[in-house]
Amino acid sequence: MRTSFVRTALVAFAFTALLASAATAFAETLTYKATLDGKDEVPPNDSKATGSVEAKYESRSMKLTWVVTYTGLSGAATAAHFHGPANAGENAGPVITLSAPLTSPITGEATLTKQQVEDLDTGKWYLNVHTAAHPSGEIRGQLHTSK
């Protein structure tokens, strides 16, 4: 009787370990990129600044990490945000405010909600960098999955 119980417990433990390792195997890292410029702001502006975003999303932890680089802004960056949900050509409120220092490169991380992941994955997030000369945003880019 005791041997049967021990066997059952070992089988249950092995099955649980197998399920846990399978869940880890399904975790994935997705890369999102954007090119930043003034013509993609809404409304567009004539800024000569350019930049880029590379963000990585890890599905198991639901963590997004990013590196934002830029050059040629009209002045110091006063704010930078991920916004959504919005398609290209539309505006939306900030989803994530990037933390200082806002000098290039800007790095950071955040844990996303399921809805934020869905919006990001369907291309409805953008990032913009604000300056005193362009308080609503000097450069902007829509994030898309990088293959």
Tens of pLDDT along 33-86?
A: 999 999 999 999 999 999 999 999 999 999 999 999 999 999 999 999 999 999
State pLDDT tens for residues 117-128. 999 999 999 999
* Closest-CA residue to 64 (of 72, 74, 55): 55
Whole-angstrom distance, CA of residue 23 vs CA of residue 113: 19
Please give the angle made by the CA atoms of 97, 31 and 67, to the nearest 5 degrees. 45
The domains of the chain are located at 28-145
The reported pTM is: 0.81
- Cβ proximity of 66 and 109 under 8 Å: yes
